[in-house]
């Protein structure tokens, strides 16, 4: 009987042990198969690449990008007893007033964005603050209703985008252009809209975002070793210009003053190395702040150096005359009848500002005779004239470095067979061109007949400092060297004896041609004018092509009183800055 009871007890114990073992196995199986919210042994870090900068020839950042961060906090996790401490510390580290922080926290319960535009340096400090706030237990440890696990959600500093900065305000606008913001997955990026920002958008844009994955340490920082994976960040390329900031600033200030003095709608200037094509200044009196464009700025958003085409007037006469010389159709000393300032050609009456009886062919340029040029131009065939204008770059793009160029127009070869069209085109009507096209054409007169391509960008620079220089485009031998040298002398004579006297600078070789042209409105010429002066300024070592256009000056309709003084002031600045050194014997 005793043995039977003992056997039952042993059997019961065995059953209990078996049941306990089965329960243990079931629990282990459940734990093995059930998803668990355990912290991962691995972590991922990513960083956004930035847009490249636009840098001046003298190394100043004209346009640059800075990273922006946003500061986020979950109000439910802030310890009510330490809320005021959080407000004070966040205000100190962020620069946001305490009252503003309190108001933002009070707006809603839950996730609150305290700032969308935290600069990179402040973001670094705020990340340090976030760690300190955890250490001082400013944030509560609460149970997650979904997982049932305790967690802490503190202050988070998240990269939110980039901002385009223009440290020099309106400098080099509208050439530099402006960008707009693009929001994608909560990140703000930048795209170019106008100017250099648009033309070189692909080069400036970030090339590759950074990415790292690997095991984490106790502070959740990634451990970089052979088992981790890293894809490097590749920022956009920096663009280095041929234009120095110091020189551009002085030229722009001068244009501002001249616009006011001449009561003009706009004053523009371009200064270029005649032998290479490097642009040293490209400026307008009409500028704007790229980050704060107002409605009143809209007319100034276009780069009128290339986007404003106009009838150039008498600055085209040297082009026509050079074609006559090139085809041996004129001798500079040929006599031309001035018809005493009034000449009828078909149904059209051509007039001159100054009356001439007879004058030499080269003096047609020096004293800017429309009548003389109209007669000389008849020696060119329509084909020769059209082809010549085309070879000088008219109706084609002047430079690859700018965008949205209005290339203007020239009459067809057939139309130029008509004597009136030929005559008017010869002195700059019936043809449209922009400042940069004229500058490029005139470079041939200061470079032995070779025409250079205006160049604004000298190199690309990557984030490691590697420089990729932009090659110069091949120069075009548009006229013979002998023709160019003759035109060079005629343009110097035009300054010394003719319409460009106010451009004279002692000790320098100055040449050029004035031009005044009526403006067309609603298909009719009105009493409004554009004036221009195209020419060069040289010393013993340097040669510069310089072009000035004044749009609708009210003070005077004559280029000699509007465009020429702007040219002279620019040359004076070049002397002062050391770009030109007058050869003055004391």
Query: What tens digit of pLDDT does each residue of 440-497 get?
Result: 999 999 999 999 999 999 999 999 999 999 999 999 999 999 999 999 999 999 999 9
Same domain, 394 and 522: yes
Report the 10 Å Cβ neighbour count for 221.
Answer: 11
Instruction: Specify if 104 maps to a domain.
Output: yes
Last residue of a domain, one of 112, 137, 167: 167
Same domain, 428 and 544: yes
Same domain, 260 and 367: yes
Residue with token string 């090339």: 207
DSSP string covering 221-275, please?
Answer: -B--STT-EEE--BPPPEEEES--HHHHHHHHHHHHHHHHHHT-SEEEEEEEETT
* Percent over 70 (pLDDT), the chain: 91
User: Quick check: 49 and 234 in contact, CB under 8 A?
Assistant: yes
Instruction: Specify if 194 maps to a domain.
Output: no
Residues ≥6 apart with Cβ < 8 Å to 391: 476, 478
Instruction: Specify if 73 maps to a domain.
Output: yes
Range of the domain at 133: 67-147+156-167
Contacts of residues 82-87 at CB distance under 8 Å and 24 or more positions apart, as own/partner, are 82/136, 82/137, 82/138, 85/136, 85/138, 86/133, 86/138
pTM of the predicted structure, to 2 decimals: 0.84
Same domain, 161 and 264: no
Same domain, 533 and 412: yes
User: Can you give the CATH number for the domain in which 118 is found?
Assistant: 3.30.1390
Same domain, 131 and 264: no
Same domain, 561 and 462: yes
State the Cα–Cα distance between residues 586 and 578, nearest whole angstrom. 19
Q: How confident is the model at residue 108, as a pLDDT?
A: 85
Average pLDDT of the chain, as a whole number: 90
User: Please, what is the angle between helix 317-326 and helix 419-426, to 10°?
Assistant: 110
Instruction: Specify if 392 maps to a domain.
Output: yes
Same domain, 355 and 468: yes
Counted domains in the chain: 2
Same domain, 337 and 441: yes
Instruction: Specify if 364 maps to a domain.
Output: yes
Task: Report the sign of the C-alpha dihedral through residues 83, 84, 90, 95, in that order.
Answer: positive
Last residue of a domain, one of 105, 138, 167: 167
State the Cα–Cα distance between residues 512 and 445, nearest whole angstrom. 10
Same domain, 418 and 528: yes
> In which element (H, E) is residue 291 found?
none
Measured CA angle at 365 (ends 363, 368), to 5 deg: 100
Q: How confident is the model at residue 303, as a pLDDT?
A: 96
Last residue of a domain, one of 134, 167, 200: 167
Q: How confident is the model at residue 509, as a pLDDT?
A: 98
User: Can you give the CATH number for the domain in which 453 is found?
Assistant: 3.40.710.10
Same domain, 412 and 285: yes
Low-confidence residues of the chain: pLDDT under 50: 36-38, 218, 586
Same domain, 439 and 573: yes
Instruction: Specify if 226 maps to a domain.
Output: no
Instruction: Specify if 440 maps to a domain.
Output: yes
Instruction: Specify if 142 maps to a domain.
Output: yes
């Amino acid at each position: 009987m005793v043995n039977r009871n003992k056997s039952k007890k042993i059997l019961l114990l065995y059953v209990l042990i078996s049941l306990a073992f089965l329960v243990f196995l079931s629990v282990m199986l459940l734990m093995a198969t059930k998803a668990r919210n355990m912290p991962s042994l691995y972590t991922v870090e990513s960083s956004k690449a930035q847009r490249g900068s636009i840098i001046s020839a003298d190394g100043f950042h004209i346009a640059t990008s800075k990273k922006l961060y946003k500061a986020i906090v979950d109000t439910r996790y802030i310890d009510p007893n330490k809320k005021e401490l959080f407000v004070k510390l966040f205000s100190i580290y962020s620069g946001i007033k305490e009252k503003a922080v309190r108001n933002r926290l009070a707006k809603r319960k839950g996730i609150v964005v305290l700032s969308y535009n935290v600069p990179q340096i402040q973001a670094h400090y705020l990340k340090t603050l976030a760690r300190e706030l955890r250490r001082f237990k400013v944030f509560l440890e609460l149970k997650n209703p979904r997982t049932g696990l305790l967690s802490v959600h503190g202050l988070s500093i998240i990269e939110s985008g980039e901002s385009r900065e223009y440290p020099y305000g309106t400098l080099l606008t509208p050439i530099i252009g402006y960008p707009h913001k693009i929001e994608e997955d909560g990140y703000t990026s930048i795209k170019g809209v106008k100017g250099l920002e648009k033309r070189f958008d692909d080069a400036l844009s970030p090339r590759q975002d950074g990415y790292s994955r690997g095991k984490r340490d106790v502070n959740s920082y990634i451990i970089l070793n052979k088992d981790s994976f890293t894809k490097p960040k590749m920022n956009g390329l920096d663009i280095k210009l041929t234009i120095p900031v110091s020189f551009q600033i002085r030229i722009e200030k001068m244009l501002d003053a001249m616009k006011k003095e001449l009561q003009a709608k706009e004053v523009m200037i371009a200064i270029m190395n005649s032998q290479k094509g490097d642009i040293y200044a490209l400026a307008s009196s009409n500028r704007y702040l790229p980050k704060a464009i107002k409605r009143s700025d809209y007319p100034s958003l276009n780069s009128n150096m290339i986007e404003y085409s106009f009838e150039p007037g008498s600055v085209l006469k040297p082009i026509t005359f050079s074609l006559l010389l090139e085809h041996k159709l004129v001798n500079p000393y040929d006599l031309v009848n001035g018809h005493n300032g009034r000449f009828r050609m078909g149904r059209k009456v051509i007039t001159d500002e100054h009356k001439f009886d007879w004058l030499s062919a080269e003096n047609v340029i020096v004293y800017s005779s429309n009548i003389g040029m109209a007669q000389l131009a008849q020696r060119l065939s329509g084909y020769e004239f059209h082809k010549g204008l085309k070879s000088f770059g008219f109706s084609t793009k002047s430079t690859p470095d700018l965008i949205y160029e209005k290339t203007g127009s020239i009459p067809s070869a057939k139309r130029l067979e008509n004597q009136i069209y030929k005559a008017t085109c010869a002195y700059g009507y019936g043809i449209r061109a922009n400042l940069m096209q004229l500058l490029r054409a005139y470079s041939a007169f200061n470079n032995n007949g070779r025409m250079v391509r205006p160049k604004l960008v000298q190199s690309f620079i990557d984030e490691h400092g590697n420089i990729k220089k932009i090659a110069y485009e091949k120069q075009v031998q548009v006229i013979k060297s002998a023709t160019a040298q003759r035109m060079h002398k005629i343009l110097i004579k035009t300054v010394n004896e003719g319409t460009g006297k106010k451009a004279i600078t002692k000790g320098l070789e100055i040449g050029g041609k004035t031009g005044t042209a009526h403006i067309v409105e609603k298909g009719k010429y009105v009493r409004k004018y554009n004036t221009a002066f195209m020419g060069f300024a040289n010393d013993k070592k340097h040669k510069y092509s310089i072009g000035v256009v004044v749009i609708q000056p009210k003070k005077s309709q004559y280029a000699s009183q509007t465009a020429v003084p702007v040219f002279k002031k620019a040359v004076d600045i070049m002397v002062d800055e050391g770009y030109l050194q007058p050869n003055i014997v004391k």
